Amino acid sequence: MSEQPNSRCGYCAIVGRPNVGKSTLLNRLIGQKLAITSHKPQTTRHSILGVKTTDEGQIIYVDTPGLHKRGDHAMNRYLNRTARSALADVDMILFVVEALRWTDEDQAVLETVSRLDIPILLLVNKIDTVKNKEELLPYLDTTSKRFEFSAVIPLSARKGDNIAPLEKQVLSGMPEGIAYFPEDQLTDRSERFFAAELIREQLTQRYAKEIPYALTVEIEKFEEEGNLYRIHGLIWVEREGQKNIIIGAKGEALKAVGTQARIEMEKFFDKKVFLQLWVKVKKSWSSDEGALSRLGYSD
């Protein structure tokens, strides 16, 4: 991207409580799937940069784990630390809430971000789920008075409603400067990272509430052979019973996860993928700070 006298470049953090649609919003803004999504809270476990470059400038969006009040567990503490650390040195905050809802966790997020002396945009997401649109007006009026927001934008990250005005508002709030990243770069994360996330996405979407929080994925092997990626993934769980559920009768459940993850990888990497998966037990890994660090959950 050439240096333009009026070009803009800056960092914009996407924050909110769990399950308000932050990752869906990042994917919509970038125009490509970078962050895995599911209907389960705390699907996002890492901060991910999404780089959007246009003729007018470059916006580096920072997707964050949901800020929440459940801090009595090592994984929960890690998620909160990760989300808060992503707020350092950003130029703008997109505070995402869910239409017609305001919870104690939303209030806690607002209290966290309101301490920062930078513009904060309130994004009211999931307006497509509101059947009676007249209910939005009093909600928007009440919520907009909770803080002196730079703007209040109702939108649907899933459908793309009001995304263009949002992008225009964000770009206008970025400082003047040249691009930090090459114009063809979309993220700071490695292909190995995305391979693990795409496997975890399939597991999170397929299993009952408790299992996704007790598992993580480690990529043991990632090799490129021409137009083929050879990937070995290791799924860690906390109990033998969870391992049995994920493998399933005659290995059919694990095979189904591997097949769909491979399809998603081939779309994401634009390569053929040979994927093999194993499941192992590491007791209480998610409540052990040392185990978390060894499995890639480090600050």
Positions at the binding site for GTP: 16-23, 63-67, 125-128
Cα(257)–Cα(52) distance, rounded to whole angstroms? 31
What is the C-alpha end-to-end distance of the chain, expressed in Å?
Answer: 31
Please report, in range form, the residues annotated as the binding site. 16-23, 63-67, 125-128
- 25, burial (CB in 10 Å: exposed 0-12, middle 13-18, buried 19+): buried
Question: Can you list the positions of beta strands (E) in the chain?
Answer: 8-15, 48-54, 57-63, 92-98, 120-125, 151-154, 216-225, 228-237, 272-281
Cα(117)–Cα(26) distance, rounded to whole angstroms? 23
Residues with Cβ < 8 Å from 155, sequence gap 6 or more? 123, 124, 125, 127, 161, 162, 163, 166
Q: How far is CA 291 from CA 45, 116, 201, 288, 298, in A?
A: 15, 33, 21, 5, 10
State the CB neighbour count (10 A cutoff) for residue 143. Answer: 20
Residue 171: enclosing H or E segment and its boundaries? helix 163-172
3-state secondary structure 232-289: EEEEEECCHHHHHHHHCHHHHHHHHHHHHHHHHHHHHHCCEEEEEEEEEECCCHHHCH
Residue 200: name the closest of 2, 76, 43 by CA. Answer: 43
